[in-house]
Amino acid sequence: MNSFIVKGLVLAGVLIVATLVVIKQMHIDLSDPVNLITFLGAVAIAVLTFGVGAKYMAQMKTDTAGGELAEENWDGIGEYKNELPAGWAWSYVGTMIWAIWYFLWGYPLNAYSQIGEYNQEVKNYNKKFEEIHKNASPEVLKDMGESIFLVQCAPCHGETGDGLSGKAQDFTSRFTKEQVLAVIKNGQHQLKFPLGAMPAGLAQGKDAEAVAEYVANGLKGDAPAAWGTCAGCHGQDGKGNGGSAPDLAGYDLPLVQHVLANGKTGIIGHMPAFPGRFTPVQEKALAAYLSTLKQ
């Protein structure tokens, strides 16, 4: 037998032995049909790869190219119309058969999995969590919201919610004048409140400046004349008409829920959406905590 083939098979044997050692150390049960067939597949791949590789490396030393040339060529370099080696063809067919068996009978998609078990445990825990805290007191919600904020929100918004010097939304205030002017100029189409998108250009010039200053100042003092246009959707007090539009005065629950579900893009940058990240009680707790940050 050619020395190349012998060396290839020896290397394949070494890999198979190494695989068996790993299987033993990891206590993998080869009586499980899936584990056994997977191991046999690995053995077949090792033998075929090194055996066939060694065979063709040996042939390269003695064989000369021959056969019918294809019509296409690249800068004068042609290609022979040689048949695909039978070993590779059968390997491909075997892989397809294995894949079909694996997904339909060996380990079907609806079978048990650790990931599926974990996800079900999370769902069960969340259901229990919601039941326990459905009537939580404001103090409990605030403490819960602070914990959620420090883990999930603080990396971008800062531990104190100050937005890290303009890198993210500053929760110690609702708006800056520049933010309000940007919304008035460009409209708002992201948050998907019941009243729909806010069109651009509802106020211009001095009217826009007055509204922006009024909102950025926390809606304190006398409302400007142009505020009537805004109040039609946001309410005279700016609190969103019971969740029909965004609350311009603070961070209420509907606003938090819509931002988490849809994300938010503004003059600072883009916040991605986090749909399904929090349970309803956690969203309520987060809104309760954010309301304490606004000065």
The full DSSP string for 154-208 is HHHH-TTSS-TTTTS--TTSS--HHHHHHHHHH-B-SS--TT-PBPTTSS-HHHH
Q: Are residues 175 and 274 in the same domain?
A: yes
Domain assignment of residue 159, yes or no: yes
Q: Are residues 286 and 179 in the same domain?
A: yes
If you average pLDDT over every residue of the chain, what do you get? 88
DSSP H or E run through 76: none
Domain assignment of residue 124, yes or no: no
Q: Are residues 163 and 38 in the same domain?
A: no
Domain assignment of residue 122, yes or no: no
pLDDT value at residue 287: 96
Q: Are residues 177 and 90 in the same domain?
A: no
Domain assignment of residue 137, yes or no: yes
Q: Give pLDDT tens digits for 231-241.
A: 999 999 999 99
Q: Give pLDDT tens digits for 25-83.
A: 887 877 777 778 888 888 888 877 877 777 777 777 777 777 788 888 888 788 888 88
Q: Are residues 29 and 135 in the same domain?
A: no
DSSP-assigned letter for residue 249: S
Q: Are residues 99 and 194 in the same domain?
A: no
Does residue 6 surpass a pLDDT of 90?
Answer: no
Does residue 1 surpass a pLDDT of 60?
Answer: no
Which range in 14-18, 45-49, 159-163 is most confidently predicted, on average pLDDT? Answer: 159-163
Does residue 279 surpass a pLDDT of 80?
Answer: yes
Q: Are residues 102 and 134 in the same domain?
A: no
Query: Which residues on adjacent β-strands are paired with residue 236?
Result: none
pLDDT value at residue 175: 92
Q: Are residues 135 and 211 in the same domain?
A: yes
Does residue 111 surpass a pLDDT of 80?
Answer: no
Task: For residue 287, give the amino acid letter.
Answer: A
Domain assignment of residue 71, yes or no: no
Taking the C-alpha atoms of residue 37 and residue 44, their distance in angstroms, rounded to an integer, is 10
pLDDT value at residue 161: 94
Domain assignment of residue 125, yes or no: no
Q: Which domain holds residue 289?
A: 130-293
Q: Are residues 21 and 162 in the same domain?
A: no
User: For 198-208, what is the mean pLDDT?
Assistant: 94
The token pair at 229 is 């246009």
- Domain's final residue, options 109, 141, 172: 109
Q: Are residues 172 and 95 in the same domain?
A: no
Q: Are residues 162 and 269 in the same domain?
A: yes
Domain tally, the chain: 2
Taking the C-alpha atoms of residue 288 and residue 278, their distance in angstroms, rounded to an integer, is 14
Question: Count of CB atoms within 10 A of residue 225's CB?
Answer: 11
Give residue 289's pLDDT band: very low, low, confident or very high (50, 70, 90).
very high
Asked if residues 286 and 133 have their Cβ atoms less than 8 Å apart, the reply is no
Give residue 2's pLDDT band: very low, low, confident or very high (50, 70, 90).
low
Domain assignment of residue 39, yes or no: yes
Task: For residue 168, give the amino acid letter.
Answer: A
Q: Are residues 152 and 102 in the same domain?
A: no
Does residue 14 surpass a pLDDT of 80?
Answer: yes
Domain assignment of residue 16, yes or no: yes
pLDDT value at residue 250: 93
